[in-house]
Amino acid sequence: MDFIPIARPLLGDEEIEAVSEVIRSGMLVQGELVRRFEEMFSSYIGVRNSVAVSNGTVALDLALKAFGLKPGDEVICPAFTFIATSNAVLYQGLMPIFADVDPRTFNIDPGDVLERVNRNTKAIIGVHLYGQPFDVKAIGEICEDHNLILIEDCAQAHGAEYDGKRVGGFGTGCFSFYPTKNMTTGEGGMITTDDDALAERVRLLRNHGDLGKYNHVMLGYNYRMTNIQGAIGLVQLGKLDEFINARIRNAEYLSLHISRDGITTPWRDPRCKHVYNQYVLRVEDDFPMSRDALSSHLQSRGIGTGVHYPMPVYEQPLYRQLGIGSRCPVAEDVSRRVISVPVHPGLSNEELKRIADAVNSAG
């Protein structure tokens, strides 16, 4: 009985061939293949511009940087997310303000965001957590009413849709291509925007502010993507819809077959296409085992699990040291209940059945 990992990137002969070609060409760094990957990504998302960078954290960092906010400006982000979301705010000397999340979607709660908007607020970063879009309509309206920048952390949501439109096209989109995401380039990231001037600033920041031939017009960085990553990205993007459809099929199977008092399967907002980067169960109080005991039970049945994430960001030692963040009760509650089980596109029917059976027989 093979162990079922929580994530498994699907890379094959096409990716190997594409990488070999780059190596044979000798053109390793950012060039034609990165340009083609950006073009294909723009057309997939439905935006005017995509700018490839070295990872998803850098995408968030540069998106914030390009807006030219001032030290001390406040940026609202969810308390329940991967730490990169709010770390990008810190990199820019800005102040992350944590908002609570919705207990069903685990996404940023527009009502709580509104409570935290004040005259220092300059931007909101929404996270499409686990592959389910946040309430883009409500958050978008808050941004319009208060003249705030909207940044979408799309690291877990390539191909997810809200009202039939792909995420990354509502505000400034920030994607990651880390191997656990819905498509990968090893490390890699992308910024998407319809704003041509913003895209131009991001392109300059990515490459030492160089307008060409050592003409450096601003303090930039080396945050470039390589042609090797671009070549993998082109192949992976061609397979993305296939990957997503398999994730959705797997999630539907699990939701149909997992049936236990005390276990809540994921809730899908009917306005959204949820692309299930993670399939996350909630362990309720009437379940006979703790979340951690359930995790050990699944492990003993050869099933990998994850906890995304074990605490609100403001409870992380770093944020405690900085003294940043006020309490978010829903984020605290759900962080102690969530458990992710495998949903990746490589799962066989037999493996899916093993996962559902193992949850159903726990306790």
Ligand X SMILES: *Cc1c(COP(=O)(O)O)cnc(C)c1O
State the nearest-atom distance from the C-beta of 319 to ligand X, in Å. Answer: 16
State the nearest-atom distance from the C-beta of 84 to ligand X, in Å. Answer: 4
What residue is closest to ligand X based on CB?
A: 56
Cis ω before 309 (30° cut-off from 0):
yes
CA atoms lying within 13 Å on the CB side of residue 202: 28
Q: Which of 110, 126, 131, 189 binds ligand X (CB under 6 A)?
A: 189
Region binding ligand X by CB under 6 A among candidate stretches 34-42, 54-62, 201-209, 329-337:
54-62
Nearer to ligand X, 106 or 178 (CB): 178
Nearer to ligand X, 173 or 189 (CB): 189
What kind and span of H or E run contains 196? helix 196-206
State the nearest-atom distance from the C-beta of 155 to ligand X, in Å. Answer: 3
Nearer to ligand X, 181 or 354 (CB): 181
Return d(Cα 250, Cα 63) in angstroms, integer: 33
> Any contact of residue 155 with ligand X (CB under 6 A)?
yes
State the nearest-atom distance from the C-beta of 336 to ligand X, in Å. Answer: 19
Question: Which residue type does 84 have?
Answer: A
Whole-angstrom CA distances from 363 to 129, 259, 268, 293 are 29, 13, 27, 9
Q: Any idea what DSSP says for residue 287?
A: S
Q: Which of 9, 19, 41, 56 binds ligand X (CB under 6 A)?
A: 56
Helices and strands per DSSP (H, E), number in the chain: 12, 13
Question: Residue 39 corresponds to which tokens in the numbers above?
Answer: 């073009």
Q: What is the dihedral of CA 162, 179, 254, 293, to 10 degrees?
A: -120
Contact pattern from residue 167 through residue 186 relative to ligand X, giving x for each residue in contact according to CB under 6 A and a dash for the rest: ---------x-x--------
Question: Residue 104 corresponds to which tokens in the numbers above?
Answer: 């069903």
Within positions 73 to 102, which residues make up the interface with ligand X, using CB under 6 A? 81-82, 84-85
- What is the arrangement of strands in the sheet containing 338-341, beginning at the earlier edge strand? 263-264, 279-283, 338-341
Within positions 115 to 154, which residues make up the interface with ligand X, using CB under 6 A? 127, 153
What kind and span of H or E run contains 136? helix 136-146
Region binding ligand X by CB under 6 A among candidate stretches 31-39, 52-60, 108-116, 202-210:
52-60
Nearer to ligand X, 74 or 152 (CB): 152
Task: Write out the residues near ligand X by the rule CB under 6 A.
Answer: 55-57, 81-82, 84-85, 127, 153, 155-156, 176, 178, 189
